[in-house]
Amino acid sequence: MEKQRTIIVTGGAGFIGSNFVHFWLEKTNQTVVNLDKLTYAGNLDNLKRWANHPRHIFVNGDIADRQVVSNLLKDHHPWAIVNFAAESHVDRSISAPDDFIQTNVVGTFNLLRESYAYWNALEPDAKEAFRFLHVSTDEVYGSLEKDDPAFSETTPYAPNSPYSASKASSDHLVRAYHHTYGLPTLTTNCSNNYGPYQFPEKLIPLVIHNALQRKPIPIYGDGMNVRDWLYVEDHCAAIGVVLDSGRVGQVYNIGGNNEITNRDIVNTICRILDDWLPGQKDFTHASLIEFVTDRPGHDRRYAIDASKIKNELGWDPQESFATGIARTIRWYLDNAAWVENVTSGAYQRWVKLNYEER
């Protein structure tokens, strides 16, 4: 029988973080202490199922707050921290980079500093068992040309947006805390995720949302930018495997082996919606597509070589894009109230009332 143990998850009210909290609470007997600032991207509705569960403790706070982090470590004695908390939207990082530096760089530094102080004072067995897992992105590696080989763990960093530069900085700090102080760190760099609970500013939920509202569906530039897409549950499973069995100090790339152009993503979603929601005669959802001015510095192609995690830890993605995208569209159709809450400001008003004005 597994011992009762605790992990701290940061950013566990966001898209991937909340999927991971579900996954970990279901897979293990462990307690999850979930530290989240509840920015516009964090949403307690994502965690409804576990709202009053004794193994899920939600804490509304900032990863950059020294006192909050040090108290959590002292009070809960975790064997691991999994850091999802971040500002994550490239477009926002272009128009307002400040929060990206504050959370992604300063916040990660604060977590590392406080984790190191906590870890250093642990008894030898607990010290040996402790892990700091930092969740990062393939965007730190920059942009690929059409025939370039996929990113591996040894590809040099070349971040191009304020978002990817802030994530690259945090990855370097994690590396430094391992090399300089011996903190048992793990870093994962993953490709684009899709699935339930993703805020509808990101490509896939935005397209579904706009298509359902019959609003224009914007595509940047010529729409031929390529991303590797991974169903979020596969990402959660990969993080679980790295947390349990990854070699300390190592980096693991995670990807779906699934390179698709933005144009193909949008057309696929439109075709599925045409089939599922036959509208008025002659209407196709693709007629809503509008090509708009490209994002400044838009990376052309990302591709991930995930052979290290496959060969070392036996992880492989389970969901094909065809089934994953259908599940995702079905989720957004079945959860119209969730979408309405996060897009209408009703949720933000609720957070203000419950957390900021109490």
Catalytic annotation, residues? 138-139, 163
Secondary structure (DSSP) of 43-84: -GGGGGGGTT-TTEEEEE--TT-HHHHHHHHHHH--SEEEE-
Secondary structure (DSSP) of 197-253: T--TTSHHHHHHHHHHHT--EEEETTS--EEEEEEHHHHHHHHHHHHHHPPTT-EEE
Interaction of residue 184 with ligand NAD, rule CB under 6 A: no
- Look up tokens 């909050």; give the residue: 68
Interaction of residue 303 with ligand NAD, rule CB under 6 A: no
Written as one letter, the residue type at 339 is: V
Query: Of these, 39, 160, 187, 258, which contacts ligand NAD (CB under 6 A)?
Result: 39
Interaction of residue 299 with ligand NAD, rule CB under 6 A: no
Q: Least CB distance from residue 81 to ligand NAD, whole Å? A: 12
| 274 Cα distance to chain centroid | 29
Q: 217-220 and 192-194: which strand pairing? A: unpaired
Q: Least CB distance from residue 123 to ligand NAD, whole Å? A: 29
Site string for ligand NAD, 194-213 (x = CB under 6 A): -----x--------------
Query: Of these, 31, 34, 93, 103, which contacts ligand NAD (CB under 6 A)?
Result: 103
Tell me the window of 59-67, 241-249, 320-328, 335-343 that interacts with ligand NAD (CB under 6 A).
59-67
User: Which residues on adjacent β-strands are paired with residue 274?
Assistant: none
Query: Of these, 44, 47, 56, 62, which contacts ligand NAD (CB under 6 A)?
Result: 62
Would you say 195 or 285 has its CB closer to ligand NAD? 195
Site string for ligand NAD, 137-176 (x = CB under 6 A): x-----------------------------x---------
Interaction of residue 47 with ligand NAD, rule CB under 6 A: no
The answer for 195, left when phi > 0, alpha when psi is -120 to 50, beta otherwise, is: left
Nearest to 83 by CA among 160, 175, 188, 158: 188
Q: Least CB distance from residue 142 to ligand NAD, whole Å? A: 15
Question: Distance between CA 278 and CA 102 in Å, rounded?
Answer: 46
Tell me the window of 57-65, 118-126, 280-288, 340-348 that interacts with ligand NAD (CB under 6 A).
57-65
**Residue 337 three-state SS:** helix
Query: Of these, 7, 14, 210, 238, which contacts ligand NAD (CB under 6 A)?
Result: 14
Query: Of these, 190, 206, 207, 238, which contacts ligand NAD (CB under 6 A)?
Result: 190
Interaction of residue 24 with ligand NAD, rule CB under 6 A: no
**Are 309 and 154 within 8 A, CB to CB?**
no
- Look up tokens 């109490």; give the residue: 358
Interaction of residue 16 with ligand NAD, rule CB under 6 A: yes
Nearest to 244 by CA among 28, 61, 47, 44: 28
Task: Compute how many other C-beta atoms are within 10 angstroms of the C-beta atom of residue 322.
Answer: 10
Query: Of these, 93, 143, 169, 192, which contacts ligand NAD (CB under 6 A)?
Result: 192
Binding residues (CB under 6 A) for ligand NAD: these are 10-11, 13-17, 35-39, 41-42, 62-64, 84-88, 103, 107, 135-137, 167, 190, 192-193, 199
